[in-house]
A = this chain, B = another copy of it.
């Protein structure tokens, strides 16, 4: 039998009910923050991703030629696509532009727990505006969503990537050569970093500072970092900005903001990040604990546009659902409120009852198989309906229905004219 492709998933009604409830929090919060939703195609010109991440990215993505010979790729992430959307459609819109999006992304990698080849992301971007103010706004949106989901135990870490980039420049490692170092920092592998410095003959005072900066982490470490970087005015400027962002986030008094940590060792995976960077982990999730990551980046230049301050984040919808399941935040999915069971000769009246209830907004299902009462009650229980509405000939003659509470088994007669009133508040 044909199966779904390797690394992908089918989502059943219970899964989708969870996804809907998580995405409702994201959608409502983003709209409340004054962000507007956008949507880009599922595939893009391959070049959009290679120009950003180099040819190496091709090994990890789904790329193909279409029937017109175009090189296309299923999008591996959405920031580049949203910046293309901005460059194509919104260049002249008043800034800042605040947008958010939901969408599937695709990576050809080994499937494992919590890691799929097709996965869903929520994200937001601000293009233009003041660097400190927009970063406060973007981090606040991410934190408000995570707290709105009811999650607990999240670790929020904020850094400023410019500091490391400035120090690497000092030892002659330019922007395009920082990748291998940043990868080690991103993994927290400082021994590996020290070894790499040694291999490259870079050992010295500055590499010591880099190792110390990469290890600088905690709630009150900005002064420590200032001491470490005291002779470097650009680094101190970066720390000033980081402190202003931190103060802004904390003054919003969102739950969880008191736990925000500074982490100067956040390097992010991608080359285009520059200023503030941040990550949110949910420790319950183990190896795949990062549920949100983002920061300031420089991408508009890739489109030949002038450099524009931009910042954003992406969240893994699937991982957040996993976290919510593990923390037991969502109860089991509810079925329809009412399940209507007609008998021979009452089918037409039963359909009218169904229509009335549905028009009144009461989620209602009905027998579509012409089954016996006992089989219908079993089916109604299996779809987790709350009440069965039984409409036999006897009931029809009396002008009533029998309403059975499928949890307690209690039955009561309700006049046909009062059904909507009876169910309105159930």
Contacts and interface: CB of A to CB of B under 8 A. Distances in A.
A393 B252 CA distance: 20
Interface in A265-292: none
A33 B2 contact: no
Contacts of A48: 2
Contacts of A96: 368-369
Given A41-B118, A368-B129, A382 B12 contact: no
Interface string A5-24: 11011111101110110000
A162 interface: no
A13 B37 contact: yes
A373 interface: no
A206 interface: no
A248 interface: yes
Interface in A28-47: 31-34, 36-45, 47
A45 B3 CA distance: 8
A98 to B, nearest CB: 7
Given A44-B4, A129-B369, A11 B34 contact: no
B47 A2 contact: yes
A10 B3 CA distance: 32
B6 A351 contact: no
A251 B383 CA distance: 26
Given A70-B6, A130-B368, A248-B351, A104 B42 contact: yes
A336 to B, nearest CB: 4
A1 B133 contact: no
A354 B34 CA distance: 11
Given A352-B252, A369-B96, A2 B45 contact: yes
Nearest to A303: B1
A79 interface: no
Contacts of A351: 136, 248, 251-252
Nearest to A247: B348
A1 B130 contact: no
B358 A144 contact: yes
Given A2-B47, A39-B16, A41-B118, A108 B67 contact: yes
Given A129-B369, A133-B369, A252-B352, A38 B13 contact: yes
Contacts of A140: 355
A350 to B, nearest CB: 10
Q: What interface size band does chain A fall in?
A: 35 or more
Given A41-B8, A368-B130, A32 B252 contact: no
Contacts of A25: none
Nearest to A19: B39
A392 to B, nearest CB: 18
B33 A365 contact: yes
Interface stretch (A81-89, A323-331, A399-407): A81-89
Contact of A134 (B137, B251, B254, B368): B368
A304 interface: yes
A406 to B, nearest CB: 14
Contact of A36 (B13, B59, B248): B13
Interface in A365-397: 365-370, 378-379, 382-383, 385
7 contacts: A1-B303, A2-B48, A4-B40, A4-B84, A10-B85, A11-B38, A133-B370
